[in-house]
Amino acid sequence: MSEPVLTVSGLRAYYRTSAFGVEREVRAVDDISLSIAANEIYGLAGESKQCKTTLIKTIANAIQAAAEGAGGLGGVHFRSQTVRGWQVDIHAVAREELSAIRWNTSPTSCRAR
C-alpha cells in the first residue's frame, strides 16, 4: 500500500444549540479516523441527515466551529506538493494556502523555498 494522501485522526465536529430554553451539544462528527492512499476511491453512505456532508466539510476545513469550544478538533493531514512541502495540516494553514491546496495552485506567499 502506498503512502496516504489524506490522513484523518480523531476528527470531531460538535455544535451547541439552544431551543425552547434548553441548551445541548450536538455531536455531528465524533472521533472519525481514516487514511486514503493515492488512487483509492471511497464512498460515503448513510441515511438522510446522518452528517455525511458535515464530515466532508470538516475534513476540508470548509466549515468553522459554530460555538466556542466546539468544531473540528482532531488531525487532518494532506500530502501536497503545493504548500509547505508534503504533509499539511488542513486545519492549521492560512486561507490562501488552503485555497491553493483545493485548487492545486501555488499561492504567492507559499511558493517553493
pLDDT (average), residues 96-106: 76
User: Contact 72/61 with Cβ under 8 angstroms?
Assistant: yes
Please report the pLDDT score of residue 17 as a whole number.
86
Higher pLDDT, 88 or 43: 43
Residue-level pLDDT at 20: 94
Smallest CA-to-CA distance from 55 within 5, 12, 103, 4 is with 12
pTM greater than 0.75? no
pLDDT tens for each residue of 1-57:
678 888 999 988 888 888 899 999 888 888 999 999 988 998 999 998 888 998 888
Q: What is the grid cell recorded at 98?
A: 488552503
Q: Provide CB contacts within 8 A for 23, sequence distance 6+.
A: 16, 17
